[in-house]
C-alpha cells in the first residue's frame, strides 16, 4: 500500500514538473511587448507624436517577429509602420514611428500587433489630440514625486509626515494625482545621498553610502521610512489607473556625470528593470543629478556628453521604447549650445526648470525657452516643461504657489509639448487624501487647479 502511494505521488510530481516545463516553454515562445507614446495622451495638433514599441524575446533561441503599428483599426489602410525583426535569444528590440498630429484632432487608438510562430499579440494606447495653435496643452500632465524631500529645509512643512506614509498612503497619493489629470509621475530618486560631484573622492575611496527607498540588493542602506516599498506601491496603483511612471535613477552625487557615476547608474537601472520592469506603468528613466543650464565647465560638459552617449543606449537595449529624461535649469545657456547639440541626441526628453526665477543679467525666461526649443528641435529631442508650483517662505521652505502664477506660466510657455510640475507631495493635496501633505494651502492649490482644469473645453 505504501509502495503504491509512493508511486502515485511520484507520478503526480512528474505530471506537475512536465506541466511546469510546458508552461515555461509557452512563456518563452510568446514575446513580451510594450507600447510607449511620447508624450502620452493628451497632446495637441502642433506636435509630432513619438510612437515606440518594444519586443522582448525571452526564449533561448533567436526568433523572427512581424510588427505593425496601426491608427484606430487594424485595417491595411490604417497601418502606420510595419517592420520585421529578428531578435537574438534573451534580447529585445524596438520599432518607432513619428506621427504628425496636425489634422488628427479627436480620440484615437494606437495599436501594435506582433506576430511570431503563428501567434499574435496586441497592445494599445489611447491618444486624445486637442485642436490647438500651441504645442502645449496648457494642462499639467504630471509631477515629480519625492519619497522624501532631499532638503529638510525646503521640505520642512511636510518631510516629517511623508516619512510616516505607508504603502497604502502612497497608493492614495497616486489616486489624487490621477484625479486632476496628472498621469505622469517622476520619482525624484530611488536613493538618498547628499553628496556633491566635487566630493566624488568620498564615494570612490570609501564606497557608496546612499540609502535606498526600495529593497535593493546592490547596497544595504535603507532610508528610515514607514513604507516597505513606496516605489512598488506607486507603480502598482499607476498600473490600475493607466498612468506613467519615470523611475529616478539617482542619487549617486548631485551634478555628477563621471565614469564612476555612469557605472553606478547602469547597475541601478538594471536592478530597477529586473524588479519593476513588468509593470505596465513603467514609462522611462529619469536621471536625478540635474545641473545648471550652462552644463558646467569644459570637463563637466565632456562628462555629460559621454554619460548619455553610454547610458541611453544601455537602457534602450534593456528596455526598448522607454525614454531617458534629464532636467536641468534654464540658466546661463549662452556658450553651452555646442555641448547641448552633442548631448541631446542621446537624451530623449529635456525637461528644464526655473524659468520664473531667471538670474539678474541672464536671458529672460521666454528667451531661454526659445533657445532650448531650437536646440531640441535640431537634436530631435522632446522638450517638456518642469514648471515650479512652489514659492519659498521666509525660512526657505517650499509652500504652494498661487494659482495665478501657475496659470501664467502655463499660458506663457506654450512651446513645450508636455507640462510637468515640481512637485506634487506637499504642494498639491487632494481634499480626500488620508495624509494631507502641506495641509490647507496644498489642498487649496489642488482645488484651484481642479477648477481651472474643469473650465477648459472637454
Domains, the chain, in order of start with CATH, read: 32-130 (2.60.40.10), 142-455 (3.20.20.80)
pLDDT of residue 195: 87
In which residue are the cell numbers 554619460 written? Answer: 307
Percent of the chain with pLDDT over 90: 89
**Phi, psi dihedrals of residue 57, rounded to the nearest 5°:** -100, 100
CA torsion, ordered 245, 249, 254, 256, to nearest 10 deg:
-130
pLDDT digits (tens, 9 = 90+) for 379-435: 999 999 999 999 999 999 999 999 999 999 999 999 999 999 999 999 999 999 999
**DSSP reduced 3-state for 101:** coil
User: Can you tell me whether residue 114 is helix, strand or coil?
Assistant: strand
Nearest to 112 by CA among 325, 320, 323, 349: 320
Give the model confidence (pLDDT) of 245-274 as tens digits.
Answer: 999 999 999 999 999 999 999 999 999 999
Q: Is residue 200 very low, low, confident or very high in pLDDT (cuts 50, 70, 90)?
A: low
Confidence of residue 207 (pLDDT cuts 50, 70, 90): confident
Q: How far apart are the first and last CA of the chain?
A: 74
Q: How far apart are CA 73 and CA 83, in angstroms?
A: 18
pLDDT at 204 over 80: no
Residue 40 pLDDT: 98
Computed from CA positions of residues 43, 378, 81, 92, in that sequence, does the dihedral angle turn out positive or negative?
negative
For the chain, the 3-state helix, strand and coil shares in percent, each to the nearest 5, are 35, 25, 40
| pLDDT score recorded for residue 30 | 55
Contacts of 287 (CB under 8 A, 6+ apart): 248, 249, 250, 265, 311, 324, 325, 326
What pLDDT, in 10s, does the model give residues 133-162? 999 999 999 999 999 999 999 999 999 999
Q: Which residue, chain included where needed, has cell 532650448?
A: 372
In the prediction, which pLDDT does 25 show? 39
Sign of the Cα torsion 190, 191, 196, 198 reads: negative
Q: pLDDT at position 291, please?
A: 93
Burial class (CB in 10 A: 0-12, 13-18, 19+), 260: middle
Predicted confidence at residue 197, as pLDDT, reads 75
**Residues 327-371 pLDDT 10s:** 999 999 999 999 999 999 999 999 999 999 999 999 999 999 999
Beta pairing partners, 387: 421
- Taking the model in full, what pTM does it have? 0.92
pLDDT band at 201 (very low <50, low <70, confident <90, very high): low
- Residue 4 reports pLDDT greater than 60: no
pLDDT in tens, 89-133: 999 999 999 999 999 999 999 999 999 999 999 999 999 999 999
Compute the average pLDDT of residues 311-319. Answer: 98
Q: Which of 47, 42, 49, 138 is nearest to 414 (CA)?
A: 138
pLDDT of residue 69: 98
Collapsing DSSP to helix, strand or coil, 241 comes out as helix
Max intra-chain CA distance, the chain: 94
What integer pLDDT is reported at residue 406 of this predicted model? 97
pLDDT tens-digit map of 33-74: 999 999 999 999 999 999 999 999 999 999 999 999 999 999
Backbone phi and psi for residue 374, each to the nearest 5 degrees, phi listed first: -65, -40
Amino acid at each position: 500500500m505504501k509502495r503504491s502511494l509512493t508511486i502515485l505521488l511520484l507520478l503526480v510530481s512528474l505530471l506537475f514538473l512536465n506541466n511546469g516545463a510546458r508552461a515555461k516553454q509557452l512563456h518563452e515562445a510568446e514575446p513580451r511587448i510594450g507600447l510607449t507614446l511620447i508624450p502620452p495622451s493628451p497632446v495637441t495638433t502642433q506636435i509630432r507624436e513619438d510612437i515606440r514599441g518594444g519586443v522582448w524575446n525571452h526564449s533561448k533561441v533567436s526568433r523572427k517577429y512581424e510588427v505593425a503599428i496601426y491608427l484606430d483599426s487594424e485595417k491595411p489602410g490604417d497601418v502606420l509602420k510595419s517592420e520585421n525583426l529578428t531578435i537574438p535569444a534573451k534580447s529585445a528590440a524596438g520599432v518607432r514611428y513619428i506621427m504628425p498630429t496636425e489634422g488628427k484632432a479627436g480620440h484615437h487608438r494606437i495599436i501594435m500587433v506582433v506576430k511570431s510562430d503563428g501567434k499574435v499579440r496586441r497592445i494599445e494606447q489611447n491618444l486624445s489630440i486637442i485642436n490647438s495653435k500651441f504645442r502645449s496643452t496648457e494642462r499639467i500632465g504630471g509631477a515629480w514625486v519625492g519619497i522624501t524631500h532631499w532638503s529638510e529645509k525646503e521640505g520642512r512643512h511636510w518631510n516629517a509626515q511623508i516619512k510616516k506614509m505607508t504603502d497604502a498612503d502612497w497608493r492614495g497619493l497616486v489616486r489624487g494625482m490621477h484625479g486632476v489629470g496628472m498621469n505622469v509621475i517622476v520619482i525624484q530618486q530611488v536613493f538618498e545621498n547628499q553628496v556633491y560631484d566635487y566630493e566624488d573622492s568620498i564615494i570612490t575611496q570609501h564606497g557608496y553610502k546612499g540609502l535606498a527607498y526600495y529593497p535593493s540588493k546592490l547596497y544595504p542602506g535603507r532610508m528610515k521610512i514607514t513604507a516597505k516599498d513606496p516605489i512598488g506601491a506607486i507603480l502598482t496603483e499607476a498600473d490600475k489607473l493607466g498612468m506613467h511612471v519615470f523611475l529616478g535613477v539617482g542619487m549617486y552625487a548631485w551634478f555628477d556625470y563621471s565614469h564612476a557615476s555612469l557605472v553606478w547608474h547602469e547597475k541601478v537601472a538594471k536592478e530597477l528593470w529586473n524588479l519593476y520592469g513588468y509593470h505596465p506603468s513603467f514609462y522611462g528613466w529619469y536621471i536625478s543629478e540635474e545641473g545648471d543650464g550652462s552644463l558646467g565647465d569644459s570637463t563637466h560638459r565632456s562628462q555629460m556628453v559621454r554619460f548619455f552617449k553610454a547610458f541611453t543606449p544601455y537602457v534602450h537595449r534593456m528596455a526598448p521604447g522607454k525614454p531617458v529624461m534629464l532636467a536641468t535649469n534654464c540658466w546661463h545657456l549662452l556658450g553651452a549650445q555646442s555641448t547641448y547639440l552633442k548631448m541631446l541626441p542621446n537624451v530623449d526628453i529635456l525637461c528644464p526648470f526655473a524659468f520664473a526665477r531667471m538670474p539678474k543679467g541672464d536671458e529672460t525666461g521666454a528667451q531661454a525657452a526659445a533657445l532650448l526649443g531650437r536646440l531640441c528641435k535640431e537634436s530631435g529631442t522632446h522638450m517638456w516643461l518642469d514648471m515650479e508650483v512652489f514659492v519659498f517662505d521666509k525660512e526657505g521652505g517650499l509652500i504652494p504657489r498661487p494659482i495665478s502664477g501657475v496659470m501664467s506660466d502655463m499660458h506663457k510657455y506654450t512651446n513645450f509639448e508636455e507640462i510637468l510640475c515640481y512637485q506634487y507631495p506637499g504642494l498639491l493635496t487632494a481634499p480626500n487624501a488620508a495624509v494631507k501633505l502641506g495641509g490647507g494651502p496644498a489642498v487649496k492649490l489642488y482645488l484651484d487647479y481642479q477648477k481651472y482644469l474643469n473650465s477648459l473645453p472637454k
